[in-house]
Amino acid sequence: MGAYQLQVQIDQDSGFCFGVVYAIDMAEEILAEEGYLYCLGDIVHNDEEVERLKAKGLRIIDHADLVNLHNEKVLIRAHGEAPETYRLALQNNITLIDASCPVVLKLQNRIKTSHDSKENILIFGKHGHAEVIGLQGQTNNEAKVFQDIAELDTMELPQQITLYSQTTKSTDKFYRVKEELIARGYEVKANDTICRQVSNRDKDLPEFAQKFNKIVFVSGKKSSNGKVLFEVCRKHNPNTYFISAPDELKPDMFLPGDTIGISGATSTPMWLMEQVKAELESY
């Protein structure tokens, strides 16, 4: 223990969700056997974990690279992919190692069914996000995507709407959007497709956040649910810091004897939170 005698505890409910664990386990197994593996996009929205896997031979490629790749194995990460990716793989004799999260696959399927039934689909999600691109792909990119209620003001919307959500959005916000659309006179068929591993964290986190003087929230800057969960922490404990790596911490953020809770996104590896804990305990 350092001179500050900080009392530090990691939120045991935080860390990788099962979709990410599944993708990383799959990648590590193939890397151990073959020494390298291509992955379409960052395997997880956490730079530290991506670097760890790159050191084991993971090669991150994008869709433009895929066009020129032949006769190789390529991992599809938990976020899922659009149908176009599968067509291209077939064409280029690429073996896809599909680690799409089952929650995302189920949602893709539901959106495709809605689209085939000629429904007007609206997706509450982040523009350009990997999962959202895969979802739009189920509708020939005809589905409209919006990030927040304000954006709806600028959209021409049909009278009847089928509303879906990216799996890592906030449940509260989803239902607020639904109510707002109904209040504006639209007929809304709402499908709550938010992952329960994310929404349950929404529920458990307030209790965790209130137990400590300060919260250190560890997440990659690209993580969508990282943003959601950080806001939940900050709402229930204003002394919440967002960091991506231990070197962003400074002793002057803390007072001797502080109690500190460490939490993270569903894309934050436990080993990184352990490093943050060790850093704090050294003060």
Residue 143 contacts by C-beta under 8 Å, 6 or more apart in sequence?
A: 111, 115, 121, 122, 123, 135, 136, 164
In terms of Cβ atoms closer than 10 Å to its own Cβ (0-12, 13-18, 19+), residue 141 is exposed
Helix, strand, coil percent content, the chain, rounded in steps of 5:
45, 20, 35
> Has 131 been annotated as catalytic?
yes
Torsion over CA: 101, 49, 15, 202 (sign): negative
Q: Nearest to residue 226, comparing CAs of 180, 258, 272, 190?
A: 272
Rounded Cα–Cα distance for residues 105 and 25 (Å): 19
Strands 121-124 vs 144-146: parallel, antiparallel or unpaired: parallel
C-alpha dihedral, 109 to 111 to 117 to 118, nearest 10°: -150
Catalytic entry in 49, 81, 131, 279: 131
User: What's the longest Cα–Cα distance across the chain?
Assistant: 65
Q: Report helix, strand or coil for 31.
A: helix
Q: Which residues are catalytic?
A: 131
